[in-house]
Amino acid sequence: MGLTSYSKAVSSESARAQSNIIQMRYGKTGIIKYNLSKGIYSVTYGVNAFINNAYAQATANGDSLSSVNYKTRKYSSVSLHDSFGNGTKHIITLTGGSVPSMQQIFYTYPNRNYFFTQLVVSGKALASNYMAPLIAEFASLGNTERSVFIPFDNDTFISYDAKDLTSGVTNTSAEVGVVYNASRTGIVSGSVEHTVWKTGVSIANLQNVHQLKVWAGYASKEVTRDTVAHGMVKGAVLRSPKIMVGYFVDWRTGLEAYGRSNRIAEPPFVFNWTKATPIGWNSWGVLQDKLTYDKAIKVADFFADSLKTFRSGNTAYIDLDAYWDFFKKGEDYSKLKEFADYCKAKGLEPGAYWAPFTDWGHKQGGSRKVEGSDYTYADLWTKTGRGYHDIDGARALDSTHPGTQRRIDYFIDHLKACGFKMIKIDFLGHAAIEAASFYDPTVTTGMQAYSKGMEYLVNRLGNQMLIYAAISPSVATGRYVHSRRVACDAFKTIEHTKYTLNSLSYGWWQTYVYNYIDADHVVFGNEPIGANRARLLSALITGTFITGDDFSSKGIWKSRAKEFYQNPGLLRVLTSGKAFQPVDAAVGTGASSAFWRRDGNEFYLAVFNYGKEAQQMAIDFKDLGLNATKIKACTEVIQGKKVALSNQLNINTPAADAALYRFTLAQ
């Protein structure tokens, strides 16, 4: 439907505003049917009615509010011209009695095959930590339904989990949820705004009644790390985040649309990265607390002298992780500056590491003075109920406290003065924790605190460094960094590769939330060459490449690095910096065995075998969206072997190994 016909449809909707059923159109064939008499709605896309008996719910000052209980409901609409395009804002205003008024808002666009909904509650001096824009039944997709548990962050080695949606199963995810079937049909729903609320998405099959609930105010010890309830949002007008809802022929397309929508709804606060895809080395892979100045210099020498073509845009980063403080004495940062200068003289970019919102020395007591201030660490500790927030061995610092800000000033100013061009920031989830209170009285939720802290940090960093997040909230961090690690620490084994690729199998769409996502440091060590190939490819198909071996010492990893890291065919994969998409879903906490990406007239397919036996696989080109007659040539990139072609690709992957196939397509 063109914009003109769409506008006519909107006009006719306005004319029917006082009828019982309001029809709101979106995309090519989507219709939201709202029943003004009952306060419920349904949603269809094409011939598929996928949402039924939907309503909204909230609490305000302890009272429960529901769209089905109001006496009066009125419809109005206005034209929209925002970052999503031209569309319509549909408003259902609900009033009656002495309770706060409610608005159910729907944002629809003719060029978007999904819509957004939002809940607004208005009154006097309101407070709420629960707003649910969407509670509904959804149509069974049949054909082996699965729902994916999607984590809030990448801490504690948490995994994505694809669960069979059999009777009795309830699956609650953070920020976004997806349910799909074996034919790839799926429903995606989730928040695209993250500066105030944490969002939960519950997908359930209760006695074969399929239920969907999306609510703001989600707090869970196991998922969001919170030990107290979600903070209260206060004011005369309370707004939930906008929630994206869509029915998709392919659930993977739906999650990619969700990722892109996040970047549109909340544009980056950090400056845009326009340079080449970042690649390089990080010391945590092997050296960790054995890091010394001499070893770091030897690593830089190895990259400068023995890996001369391992570059992206003529750049490779040499990044010092934790324990770079071994290089300094007290307030003397001259050795760090000397290291940074040495890297630059070798044609490399120096990087550093820091955790801005954690106190690693809290067991030594709180009377220690905070660097750059007259505060003590006890002044800065985030208070949660009767205690503090301790996780990963570190105590959370209140990101709104001036002492935390002075500490940021102190360390960031020193690292900038040393000339570092990259910074890895870690344990950011500590800043997003719900608390009994924050120093800034206007901040009442963990996500408000996170936004305040990250904005302060990014402003202090300025435009000097590539900003890379490690442990952090998965979606909410998109505004503040250029690159983010998809999983927790991973090192060298095939099991580490599988763990990392579990996060890529269900989180690859974050490549559209960030400039880049990252598979963590790649370590070869003394592992078999097949495990090396798999670990290498796990990074390449995520979009960036950070290595981690101890190149200051002798070992087989050096010769393999010279071979693999300088393979021009592999380096070419990194040009776009975008992640590969899974060919098919995994099961449980497993990982997909095949991933693909198309770059112009080149099509890449990465295949992994995580098992202990050789794996035979036959891939039909139709399943990849390829026309066999359009394929001119196929090469296995790592080993440089030409591959014979037929109507399918017959692959024999050895145990604990991987391969990358490049198809050259006719234009």
644: domain CATH number?
A: 2.60.40.1180
> Do residue 168 and residue 45 come from a single domain?
yes
Of 265, 296, 318, the residue that ends a domain is 265
Surface-to-core class of residue 7, CB atoms within 10 Å of its CB (0-12 exposed, 13-18 middle, 19+ buried): middle
The segments of the chain whose pLDDT lies below 70 read 1-19
Q: Check residue 663 and give its pLDDT.
A: 94
Would you say residue 320 lies in a domain? Answer: no
Task: Provide the CATH number for the domain around residue 40.
Answer: 2.70.98.60
> Do residue 201 and residue 53 come from a single domain?
yes
Residues 6+ apart with CB under 8 A from 217: 128, 129, 130, 131, 197, 198, 200, 230
For the four alpha carbons of 224, 225, 228 and 232, in that order, the dihedral sign comes to negative
> Do residue 197 and residue 48 come from a single domain?
yes
> Do residue 235 and residue 375 come from a single domain?
no
Of 424, 454, 482, the residue that ends a domain is 482
Task: Provide the CATH number for the domain around residue 472.
Answer: 3.20.20.70
> Do residue 49 and residue 195 come from a single domain?
yes
Q: Check residue 151 and give its pLDDT.
A: 98
Q: Which residue, chain included where needed, has tokens 């400068």? A: 304
What token pair was written down for 564? 């693999």
- Nearest Cα neighbor of 327 from 360, 296, 300 is 296
Residues 6+ apart with CB under 8 A from 637: 567, 569, 570, 573, 604, 660, 661, 662
Would you say residue 92 lies in a domain? Answer: yes
Total structural domains within the chain = 3
Would you say residue 653 lies in a domain? Answer: yes
**Alpha carbons 111 and 97: distance in angstroms, whole number:** 39
SS (H, E, C) 257-293: HHHHHHHHHCCCCCCCCCCCCCEEEEHHHCCHHHCCH
> Do residue 219 and residue 77 come from a single domain?
yes
> Do residue 204 and residue 105 come from a single domain?
yes
For the four alpha carbons of 333, 334, 336 and 341, in that order, the dihedral sign comes to positive
> Do residue 89 and residue 216 come from a single domain?
yes
Q: Check residue 16 and give its pLDDT.
A: 47
**Alpha carbons 179 and 184: distance in angstroms, whole number:** 9
For residue 39, what is the enclosing H or E element?
none
Would you say residue 546 lies in a domain? Answer: no
**Alpha carbons 285 and 293: distance in angstroms, whole number:** 16
Q: Which amino acid is at 49?
A: A
Domain span at residue 392 reads 355-482
> Do residue 224 and residue 76 come from a single domain?
yes
**Alpha carbons 321 and 339: distance in angstroms, whole number:** 13
Full-prediction pTM beyond 0.85?
yes
Of 216, 232, 265, the residue that ends a domain is 265
> Do residue 18 and residue 124 come from a single domain?
yes
SS (H, E, C) 181-241: CCCCCEEEEEECCCCCCCEEEEEEEECCEEEEEEEECCCCCCCCCCCCCCCCEEEEEEECC
User: What stretches of 548-630 adopt beta strand conformation (E)?
Assistant: 581-582, 594-599, 602-609, 615-620
> Do residue 81 and residue 224 come from a single domain?
yes
For 274, half-sphere exposure in the C-beta direction (CA atoms, 13 angstrom radius) is: 3
- Interstrand relation of 243-248 and 186-191 (parallel, antiparallel or unpaired): antiparallel
> Do residue 21 and residue 157 come from a single domain?
yes
Would you say residue 532 lies in a domain? Answer: no
